[in-house]
Amino acid sequence: MAVKPSVSVVLPVHNGERFLGRALDSVRAQTLEDFECVVVDDGSTDRTAEILRQYGLQDQRLRVHRQEHRGVVAALNAGCQLAEGTYLARLDADDIASPQRLRDQVRFLERHPQVGVVGAGIVVVDEQDRPLFRVQYPATDPEVRRALLSSSAFAHPVVMMRKDVFVATGGYRAPFLHAEDFDLWLRISERCELANLRKSLLRHRFHRGSVSLNNLQQQVISVVGAELSGRMRASGQPDRLAGVGRVTLDVLLATSPEPDRVLSRVLELSASRGGFLVLVGAVDEALYLLQWARIATQGARLDRRARAKADMLDALAWYRHTSFRRSLAAAANALLTDPGLVFETVAHRSSSLLSSLAHSG
């Protein structure tokens, strides 16, 4: 009987020919050699299958599962189900893992048996691998839990988790599309501790074809849904979102007893995602996302902090557009709405803006 690997790298891909080779090279370069790489080809129609065939001939640790195009949640669950390792290490097809990533995370989990998930910091890079900025995440369990009240607290492609915890929790849930990771962290947090290493172990690539950019509206809605789902469980109620086909804004408003709270979070999270887009140069996309959120939340009694964050995102985006008059007007609105938030952000300068406004989720 073959010895099972300690780590299974789970990599879903759909039409990822452009960057897939570099992602696989980073897996093969790991200093920890006791791993398998389970790639789920989710119905690719480009050269992905050929690239995987070539790499499979070079390295028997690569296992490829091909399926009809069923989406990222189905691909993630298929890869995790096929994985034979004690630990599951996530990786996306356009990212690059640091050589010591698997070694460092395995060592941490072996030394901290109470921790079910460990992540790390990331370096956001552009299409030419040029660094844009770093993102560090809260390290200890109490810090992670505080962060989960408002954001993911993990970069999904650099997470490692215990497979038995993943299985016991029920895996990724399809209704929470594009926030399936955030929903999973909330449910795992009800079972065990969470942590991040205080170092960057992944180069996370931003490009116009990334799933996170193309589906930001759904991501915002799904994050709000995951939060609502968590509150239901915490209060002992049945999780009424678990059985829906997909979490939509209409579903949230019909499920929540506090629709204004739901809509405030939609606006606040849209501003947060928009902040990330501005930082990577996608200013028009940021303004579009915020416009969608303002229309979706029109007429609601919105939380003051949510309105201020939206105005701050407007100010930053119009400043990058060199429309200084519109930027100043938006900044003035934010100052009038929530001066404390504005002063806090200015005091911490760009690093605070990244953590408070621009979580990449």
User: Per residue in 235-246, pLDDT tens?
Assistant: 999 999 998 999
pLDDT at 358: 39
pLDDT at 352: 42
pLDDT at 208: 67
Q: How far apart are CA 184 and CA 307, in angstroms?
A: 28
User: Average pLDDT of 235-262?
Assistant: 94
pLDDT higher than 70, residue 356? no
Q: Does domain 7-205 have CATH number 3.90.550.10?
A: yes
pLDDT at 212: 55
pLDDT at 347: 61
Residue given tokens 């090279």 in the structure block: 25
pLDDT higher than 90, residue 301? yes
pLDDT higher than 90, residue 187? yes
pLDDT band with cut points at 50, 70 and 90 for residue 338: confident
Structural tokens at position 216: 């930001």
**Alpha helices by DSSP H, the chain:** 20-28, 48-58, 72-82, 101-111, 141-147, 163-169, 180-188, 211-214, 216-234, 249-255, 259-279, 283-296, 304-320, 324-337, 339-357
Selection from 241, 237, 238 nearest residue 221 by Cα:
241
pLDDT higher than 70, residue 2? no
Q: What is the greatest pairwise CA distance in the chain?
A: 70
Residues whose CB is less than 8 angstroms from the CB of residue 166 and which lie 6 or more positions away in sequence, other chains included: 80, 88, 184, 188
Of the chain, the percentage scoring pLDDT greater than 90 comes to: 81
Domain spans of the chain, in order of start: 7-205, 215-357
Cα torsion 352, 355, 360, 361 to 10°: value is -170
Helices 283-296 and 216-234, axial angle in degrees (round to 10) = 50
Alpha-carbon dihedral sign for residues 106, 112, 114, 117: negative
The three-state secondary structure class of 205 is: strand
Structural tokens at position 166: 């993943």
Q: How far apart are CA 291 and CA 283, in angstroms?
A: 12
pLDDT at 214: 61
- Which of the two residues, 3 and 195, has the higher pLDDT score? 195
pLDDT band with cut points at 50, 70 and 90 for residue 348: low
Residue given tokens 């080779």 in the structure block: 21
Q: How far apart are CA 43 and CA 216, in angstroms?
A: 22
Ranking 79-88, 133-142, 267-276, 336-345 by mean pLDDT, the lowest is 336-345
pLDDT higher than 70, residue 54? yes
For residues 239 and 247, the answer to whether their CB atoms sit within 8 Å is no
Selection from 203, 151, 154 nearest residue 26 by Cα:
203
Over the stretch 161-172, which tens digit does the pLDDT of each residue have? 999 999 999 999
pLDDT at 346: 67
The alpha carbon of residue 164 and the mean position of all alpha carbons in its chain are separated, in whole angstroms, by 22
Q: CA of 7: how far to CAs of 33, 38, 353, in Å?
A: 9, 10, 35
User: Strand 35-42 relative to strand 62-67: parallel, antiparallel, unpaired?
Assistant: parallel
pLDDT band with cut points at 50, 70 and 90 for residue 279: confident
pLDDT higher than 80, residue 210? no
Of the chain, the percentage scoring pLDDT greater than 70 comes to: 93
pLDDT at 16: 95
Task: Please indicate, yes or no, whether the overall pTM of this predicted structure exceeds 0.85.
Answer: yes
pLDDT higher than 70, residue 107? yes
User: Average pLDDT of 200-205?
Assistant: 96
Selection from 233, 73, 239, 260 nearest residue 156 by Cα:
73
pLDDT higher than 80, residue 261? yes
Q: How far apart are CA 88 and CA 356, in angstroms?
A: 29
